[in-house]
């Protein structure tokens, strides 16, 4: 497409807003990589914490369901010789 006449008014406005910068690509990349590493570490930390909590919950549930607490010698009694003679009812 070819313009018939150059409009200096528009070109001047565009030139006022024009910004030329020379980016330091190495530092920008290092900053970006550091942010990504921090985000990855945070995600990994949260994942490990969730796994730890789930494992603790599983162990607690398994302990609650086990009979280990019931099978202690101090909780056990025999049905023999407990002093109650049901045969001598009358």
Q: So what's the pLDDT on residue 89?
A: 57
How many domains are there within the chain? 1
71 within domain boundaries: no
Print the domain residue range for 46: 24-64
Q: Which of 9-13, 20-24, 26-30, 74-78 has the lowest mean pLDDT?
A: 74-78
Report CA torsion sign: 56, 61, 65, 70.
Answer: positive
So what's the pLDDT on residue 53?
A: 98
Instruction: State how far the Cα of 50 lies from the Cα of 43, in Å rounded to an integer.
Output: 11
Domain presence at residue 19: no
pTM for this one?
A: 0.51
3-state secondary structure (DSSP) of residue 35: helix
Is residue 49 included in any domain, yes or no?
A: yes
Query: What is the pLDDT confidence band of residue 55, given thresholds at 50, 70 and 90?
Result: very high
pLDDT at residue 86 in the model: 60
pLDDT band at 70 (very low <50, low <70, confident <90, very high): confident
Q: Where are the beta strands (DSSP E) in 1-90?
A: none
């Amino acid at each position: 497409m070819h313009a018939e006449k150059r409009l200096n008014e528009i070109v001047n406005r565009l030139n006022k807003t024009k910004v030329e910068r020379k980016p330091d690509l190495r530092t920008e990349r290092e900053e970006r990589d550091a942010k990504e590493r921090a985000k990855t570490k945070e995600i990994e930390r949260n994942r490990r914490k969730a796994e730890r909590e789930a494992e603790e919950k599983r162990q607690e549930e398994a302990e609650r369901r086990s009979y280990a607490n019931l099978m202690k010698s101090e909780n056990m009694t025999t049905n023999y010789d407990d002093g109650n003679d049901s045969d001598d009812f009358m």
